[in-house]
Amino acid sequence: MATNSETSNALSLLGDLTRKALAAGADAADAMRVDAASLSVACRLGEIETLERAEMGVLDVRVFVGKKQAVVSTTDCSKRALDELIARAVAMAKAAPADEFCGLAAPELVAKNWPSLAMADEGVLDAGRLIAQTRAAEETARAVKGVTNSEGAEAAARVTDIAFAASNGFAGSYRCTGYGLNATMVAGDGTGMERDYESESRVFAADLPSAETIGRIAGERTVKKLGARKMPTAQVPVVFDPRISGTLLGHLSGAISGAAIARGTSFLKDRLGQKIFSEHITIVDDPHRARGLRTHPFDGEGLLPERRKIIDRGTLTTWLLDLRSARQLKLKSTAHASRGPGSLPSPAPSNLYLEPGVLNPAELIRNIGQGFYVTELMGYGVNGVTGDYSRAAAGFWIENGTVSFPVSEMTIAGNLKDMFLNLAPANDLQFLHGIDAPTIRIEGMTVAGV
């Protein structure tokens, strides 16, 4: 992985490339380099099935000729290859269709300084440690009474260095790390088999729960699903487990993406400044949250992001904007540009989360006579234009305020506009995925056995 000296050299190289692009006929340019190393291990029935190490070094150059742009990528950083890359990028931009909204940020808008963030530890890729974690997780899970088979355990570690420079004067770099561990078990046999899992990801290796904890939870969850039933069609409260409650925020972020708003393809396109949740709901996007899985010091266009209340006491306060969508909407960028190798910037949230409520999960469901506690969603049946929502689901039936017995082969349906208005959170928020919510209760959804 890149040392401080290598990072400095990368920024120098990127700066040289943008200057060469200008000399070759571009009006503006930016360049990004991503260096990543990862190690992953998969274990099943006590045996190591895969041990893989991957290393990647990709360099992007984006050039602008008038209102035209092109982006090209390479893994070959020899002088000859980079010279050819610049020439090819400029030629492609000249031939590209015009886009009146493309372009870099004005020099006075780019980030000059940013906070020091907790985004990376020592970044050691230790195969021995990952092997031990997978074996311990699987062994613990298989020891849970009722577990009959294993789909295995997997552990992974990655270290990524990102450097970015542009002809508007921006230059910056950062390192991030990530660690993950999961286990998936099987219980029962024949047509009565069930599977479930536990999965955890952290920025710092020391923050990851123990392999034994992950394995035990995976095993216990799987056994609890045995004897699942299908329930008849009804309109009842639906409670989303924290494992999947963040998906609702994912639908929100897609609906308030500047790109969708500019196209007019969002069910929230006319709702800016209006209440779309109850007044008890606040949803925050925090790009600088310490140890956040989606933390970053600057966005994909060199702008300084900031913590925002996307939903403030129920009111939608902003769209998620990159430069292009901001220009389309005659607004300012909210520094939500995300960019990967070989792609143009597009709006995306950072560490997005729903602030917790005051009731614990048991209190949240205490007055539910009949309801559905959802722990798993399958398929994708969400219409971003209308807000219509329909997903296959599994979990547990709620009777008289208690999570009672497992159910499967169910569907849940509603409309996100109504679901948002009738949403109530518990107090058990944990930062597990980068887009997170506590246990959520939604009134009046339609559930049915399939």
Instruction: List the chain residues with pLDDT less than 70.
Output: 1-7, 450
Give the tokens for residue 129.
């440690």
**Domain identity same for 355 and 270:** yes
Predicted local confidence at residue 3, as pLDDT: 55
Q: In terms of residue numbers, what domain contains 302?
A: 228-450
> In which residue are the tokens 């031990």 written?
132
Q: What SS3 class is residue 332?
A: coil
Cα 101 to Cα 69, 134, 187: the distances in Å are 11, 49, 55
Gap between the Cα atoms of 427 and 179, Å rounded? 26
Burial 12-40 (b: 16+ CB within 10 A, else e): ebbbebbebbbebebbbbbbbbbbbbbbb
Q: In sequence order, what DSSP letters do the residues of 47-86 get, joined into one string? A: EEEEEEEEEEEEEEEEEEETTEEEEEEES--SHHHHHHHH
Contacts of 310 (CB under 8 A, 6+ apart): 252, 256, 283, 284, 285, 316, 317, 318, 320, 349, 352
Q: H-helix or E-strand containing 217?
A: helix 211-224
Render pLDDT for 62-85 as a digit per residue (tens, 0 to 9): 999 999 999 999 999 999 999 999
Gap between the Cα atoms of 69 and 99, Å rounded? 8
**Domain identity same for 209 and 336:** no
Q: Which of 221, 254, 285 is the last residue of a domain?
A: 221
Gap between the Cα atoms of 231 and 409, Å rounded? 9
Q: Which of 190, 205, 221 is the last residue of a domain?
A: 221
DSSP state of 408: E
Strand ranges across the sheet with 47-65: 68-74, 47-65, 28-44, 147-166, 171-187, 194-202
**Domain identity same for 154 and 239:** no
Q: Rounded to a whole number, what is the distance in angstroms from the first to the last CA of the chain?
A: 50
Predicted local confidence at residue 449, as pLDDT: 86
State how many domains the chain has: 2
Q: What size, in residues, is the chain?
A: 450
Q: Are 39 and 179 in contact (CB under 8 A)?
A: no
**Domain identity same for 112 and 240:** no
**Domain identity same for 292 and 182:** no
**Domain identity same for 405 and 433:** yes
Q: In sequence order, what DSSP letters do the residues of 341-393 get, joined into one string? A: TT---EE--SSEEEPP-SS-HHHHHTT-SEEEEEEEEES--B-TTT-EEEEEE
DSSP state of 106: P
Cα 198 to Cα 178, 343, 364: the distances in Å are 17, 32, 23
**Domain identity same for 333 and 427:** yes
Q: Which of 177, 204, 221 is the last residue of a domain?
A: 221
Which CATH number do you get for residue 104?
Answer: 3.30.2290.10
pTM over 0.85: yes
Give the tokens for residue 56.
């990647």
CA atoms within a 13 Å half-sphere pointing along the CA-CB vector of 134: 28
**Domain identity same for 237 and 217:** no
**Domain identity same for 207 and 295:** no
**Domain identity same for 440 and 423:** yes
**Amino acid identity, residue 107?**
P
The 3-state DSSP composition of the chain as helix, strand, coil percent (nearest 5) reads: 25, 35, 40
Gap between the Cα atoms of 207 and 180, Å rounded? 10
Render pLDDT for 9-43 as a digit per residue (tens, 0 to 9): 889 999 999 999 999 999 999 999 999 999 999 99
**Domain identity same for 262 and 358:** yes
Gap between the Cα atoms of 99 and 328, Å rounded? 11
Q: Are 323 and 346 in contact (CB under 8 A)?
A: no
**Domain identity same for 258 and 369:** yes
Predicted local confidence at residue 1, as pLDDT: 46
Q: Are 89 and 72 in contact (CB under 8 A)?
A: yes
